[in-house]
Structure 1
């Protein structure tokens, strides 16, 4: 379904067909094992954490907590909305992505070093491919959405759904950029990041908004209702 949706976008908008292809290669390109590029890196990271006897749940919880701090720091530094001029907008977004991922890398290194089971050098080494993959995917997605805001939901939900297999590390990272607020990342922080990162692309009542709401609801029944609403909207 994701591949088909991206193919439709490329056919409908010829001017961004090359960017959609780049997005597929960077984020959702299928590998023989059935995982995409970012998930492959995350799987390798998990394996190395497990081999070092580092608790994945501890890493997830710490990264989730620190993701909220990263967003709060970004909120202080990037207090202006996205510029209207496309080149300036790209530079502004790129700087925000870089600062955000640097903060998340620091958090990952901290939790690994505090475990006394991995050195700072090794922690940075295994995190680097995940960091670069996400950075590349976000930059390309931003460029696509800037040109055609209507494809925002398809691009983002495609990426989010395909990284679910390794959500223990990818979910806290993506939450810092406004995808599915979790733990201490409050809805207001997520909404701020969405507005700063995507501008006005998130429409009220869109299926992306329904899935976002599902991430903030407690209890399986509430989540199922919100997800069903999103499917019906789609």
Structure 2
């Protein structure tokens, strides 16, 4: 995305923020949640029709998650940086009353108009390559938060070495986020498995789930399973 276009998007989010709903105040005619909002209806229509890059491939990921670990209504989720997770965010169910915390500008841009999502943005140092935030300020904010589930992207995933990213700042942030979650899902297509041109790694934790496509080699499935990682394929 060109810098000028991205700036216009951010200005739009700043001046037209999502509507926050709460208890009705004295004098209100019922809860604002149940009022008909033409702007919200238009936003939902855009959400249903807009399809970010990778939508068709990643929309199936929701249905692949084991039932006991699927996205539950009212859940608190963390969504990582990267195009794969951003496409997954677009597929999240409407009216599930989720709390979504993210460092991704792409996720915020896509979900800012959704009145059914409580959206929390963690700031820090902006990294253009991943279109999101990293660094000490981002890490400090995590001290106040825990999550029912986190969804991580990766430049590479290996059963022996774990998750790989381009620099230590990103990989440290993923490690800290995973420690704050009850369940961890790594979203990566099979081209990212067991190979990388980068050298910053963190090991896969126990009871993690790798969600990938059916191009994964059978021997890799066995290696990930031996490492204690569940593998779900599209």
Higher helix share: 1
Higher strand share: 2
The alignment's TM-score, normalised by the length of structure 2, stands at 0.29
The alignment's TM-score, normalised by the length of structure 1, stands at 0.29
